[in-house]
Amino acid sequence: MIQITLPDGSIKEFHRGATPMDVAISISEGFARNVISAKFNDITIESSTPLMENGSLTLFTFNDVEGKKTFWHSSAHVLAQAITSIYPNVKLTIGPAIENGYYYDVDLGDEVISDKDFKDIEQKMLELARGKHEFKMREVSKEDALNFYKSQNNQYKVELIENLTDGEITFCDHSDFTDLCRGGHIPNTGIIKAVKVMSVAGAYWRGDEKNNQLTRVYGISFPKQKMLTEYLELLEEAKKRDHRKLGKELELFAFSAKVGQGLPLWLPKGAALRERLENFLKKAQKKAGYEMVITPHIGQKELYVTSGHYEKYGEDSFQPIHTPKEGEEFFLKPMNCPHHCEIYNNKPYSYKELPKRFAEFGTVYRYEQSGELHGLTRVRGFTQDDAHIFCTPDQLDKEFKDVIDLVLYVFKSLSFENFTAQVSLRSKEKSEKYIGSDENWEKAETAIINAAKEKGLDYVVEYGEAAFYGPKLDFMVKDALGRSWQLGTIQVDYNLPERFDLNYKGADNKLHRPVMIHRAPFGSMERFIAVLLEHTAGKFPLWLTPEQVIILPISDKYQKYAENVLCLLENSEIRALIDDRSEKTGRKIRDAELNKIPFMLIVGEQEEENGTVSVRKQGEGDMGTLTINEFTSFITKEISSTLEQF
RNA sequence: GCCGGUGUAGCUCAGGGGUAGAGCGUUUCCUUGGUAAGGAAGAGGUCAUGGGUUCAAUUCCCAUCAUUGGCUCCA
């Protein structure tokens, strides 16, 4: 007999060779029907794998992340099988489960899969799934494994196997299909009831541009048809929150092929909204001791040679602007730091004057690859809410923490709760990619980790993600479709002060090197507004939204009164407009609701007589009648309650 | 940049080898209406651009541009 420990701590006895499924049945038949995989002593196994020793067992259903992973990974096998049967000459490579579904990378040779072929693949998959084929693992020797794939001319699998250790190689068989596989499958294909091929994409073998390009087929599958339907509906819902769609509908920004791709045009409402965001941050920054500066959009080549950006990115990123004078070259600025370094260099500083904090809403230009451009989240011209802090090494710790406080204030004011923090350090191999001494990097990396810890951030450490000039702390937020974007960033830089020969006079009357912090709480105005749009589905906080109030006169007769109300609201700095169309009230309300205007003021005979307004809140309905004064103070209070001071 | 998809009215989209259609919006007129769509009439398109095939191309083919899902990249 063996003793099996379950997640609740209870221990049950089973005969040697009992399977996880036997354990599941001993708990309940109904539960067993939903069990699709298991983990035994932290190793993912099939529900049919015999248990030969004492240990702890966790059973997974589709509701568990692990269960989904197993389900989707198994589905990837079926996808590969379906593709192989439709395209017999295909070479399979890898097919992992991902956050939502799975993909399989295949080499199709000269053939092409396009979305017209999805239906066929889906049907084939379902047909194969209905066969209820069991997934069976078997060990193979390295030699046999290599021979198996060499006979198929599959250089990809051969490469994979060559990197594996003999004795640890397993194949997974189901039906007539065999694949190199580490394990972790559902009992049989029959529980895959709904499949959908989502898209195809080009992907390089092992993610390296120099390698062959493979076709990546993305799919998703579920144990119930209804779950697939719901998933697709969820995707449709998410698309409604897409900032590109909302930005167009709310007339915030636009693109023009004539102006150029990736170069956003801010429409009046968007520009005003952006200005409010800027003012919000300016106010907080002023309190935090920042000083605004302004620098030009271009800089001499020499500036970027000094900063090191030219050497690092000059060739493939931005082209020089030539002027009539011989040999003169300027570049569009890809970042503001070199300019700010020169501002620092404008005069000598004593340690008593530090830290200096120079802030600028600086517009920068970067030649992003055309395929990478995406709405407002990745563009070629954008404005950073940039600032550079020059301080003594002793001040670094406090300054860094203060910046974290500022970022958290910004996020809190805009109700961004689901962000994660990422500490980006050098790759462990420490390639020559990085500028600066080991010692300085060490100091900076330690400072960041300490600050993140002390501020109680929920952070992950990523090696190899640091900027070439220093380590950083980034704040990541997901968009409507679950894609992760970097917003706020705080970066320590020991390198630019060196390159620009920045210094200050210390108490010892000697010159010292200041430390520099780059930081941008929003990241960029463009990306921040994009993510904010998706988070709020266009229902911005009251203080930020383009139109706060719309006045709806019952008929033309009350137009004059509506104008009076408008005038009074504007005196209180409330953004309002009148819907003076010759439409019925119901219609005006409907349109205002759809335009997401937070407050509607209905005015007619009664209101005119009493100097009142009938208030309706977007999404919530009638709030009753208030005098104009009562309403303006109500709005003012609403705004101040949602926007705390820094 | 690479692999797929898409490009038709201001917006959302249908259509299809014989030079175009819907809904919404817009304009004009009627209606002056009290908490999510009042009625009528009209205007509006070189079917992304440039080539090719064809008697004939918006439709088929190729290229370019833009856009889109990924990959790679990302200061």
Domain boundaries defined on chain A: 2-60, 66-238, 292-297+333-536, 549-642
CA A530, A536, A539, A540 torsion: positive or negative? negative
Q: Which residue has the higher pLDDT, A547 or A236?
A: A547
Confidence category of residue A316, pLDDT binned at 50, 70, 90: low
**pLDDT tens profile A65-81:** 888 999 999 999 999 99
> What is the CATH code of the structural domain delimited by A292-297+333-536?
3.30.930.10
Cβ A467 to strand B below 7 Å: yes
Q: Is A536:A586 a contact under the CB 8 Å cutoff? A: no
DSSP A273-330: HHHHHHHHHHHHHHHTT-EE----SEEEHHHHHHHTHHHHHHHHH-PPEE-SSTT-EE
Cβ A483 to strand B below 7 Å: yes
Measuring alpha carbon to C1', the residue closest to nucleotide B68 is: A374
**pLDDT tens profile A274-288:** 999 999 999 999 999
Most confident of A48-52, A120-124, A563-567: A563-567
What angle in degrees, to the nearest 10, is found between the helix axes of A118-130 and A65-86? 110
| pLDDT over 80 at A205, yes or no | yes
**pLDDT tens profile A489-527:** 999 888 899 899 999 999 999 999 999 999 999 999 999
CATH superfamily of A2-60: Beta-grasp domain (3.10.20.30)
Question: What pLDDT is recorded for position A208?
Answer: 83
**A386 assigned to active site:** yes
> Of the candidates A318, A312, A314, A515, which has an alpha carbon nearest to the alpha carbon of residue A433?
A312
Q: How many CA atoms lie within 13 A of A609 on its CB side?
A: 3
Question: What pLDDT is recorded for position A28?
Answer: 87
| CATH level 3 topology of A549-642 | Rossmann fold (3.40.50)
Question: What pLDDT is recorded for position A266?
Answer: 94
Strands A599-603 and A549-553, bridge-based pairing: parallel
**pLDDT tens profile A448-457:** 898 899 988 8
Distance A95 CA to B17 C1' (A): 44
Q: Which CATH architecture has domain A66-238?
A: 2-Layer Sandwich (3.30)
**A366 assigned to active site:** yes
CA–CA gap between residue A52 and residue A404 (Å, rounded): 52
pLDDT average, residue stretch A34-59: 87
- Cα dihedral A229→A235→A239→A241 (10° resolution): 110
Q: Is A485:A458 a contact under the CB 8 Å cutoff? A: no
Confidence category of residue A574, pLDDT binned at 50, 70, 90: very high
Which position among A274, A378, A518, A519 bears the catalytic label? A518
Nucleotide lying nearest to A116, CA to C1' measure: B5
On average, the pLDDT of chain A sits at 89
pLDDT average, residue stretch A516-545: 92
Residues 347-366 of A with CB under 7 A from strand B: 366
Distance A112 CA to B54 C1' (A): 29
| pLDDT over 80 at A428, yes or no | no
| pLDDT over 80 at A5, yes or no | yes
Question: What pLDDT is recorded for position A279?
Answer: 95
Residues 410-449 of A with CB under 7 A from strand B: none
Confidence category of residue A324, pLDDT binned at 50, 70, 90: confident
Question: What pLDDT is recorded for position A427?
Answer: 79
CA A447, A448, A451, A453 torsion: positive or negative? negative
Residues 91-130 of A with CB under 7 A from strand B: 112, 114-115
**A239 assigned to active site:** no
Residues 6+ apart with CB under 8 A from A159: none
**A185 assigned to active site:** no
**A77 assigned to active site:** no
Distance A249 CA to B45 C1' (A): 22
Question: What pLDDT is recorded for position A628?
Answer: 95
Confidence category of residue A317, pLDDT binned at 50, 70, 90: low
pLDDT average, residue stretch A148-168: 89
**A486 assigned to active site:** no
Question: What pLDDT is recorded for position A543?
Answer: 93
| pLDDT over 90 at A584, yes or no | yes
| pLDDT over 90 at A264, yes or no | yes
Query: Could you say which nucleotides of strand B lie within 7 A of any protein CB atom?
Result: 1-5, 11-12, 26, 30-38, 65-75
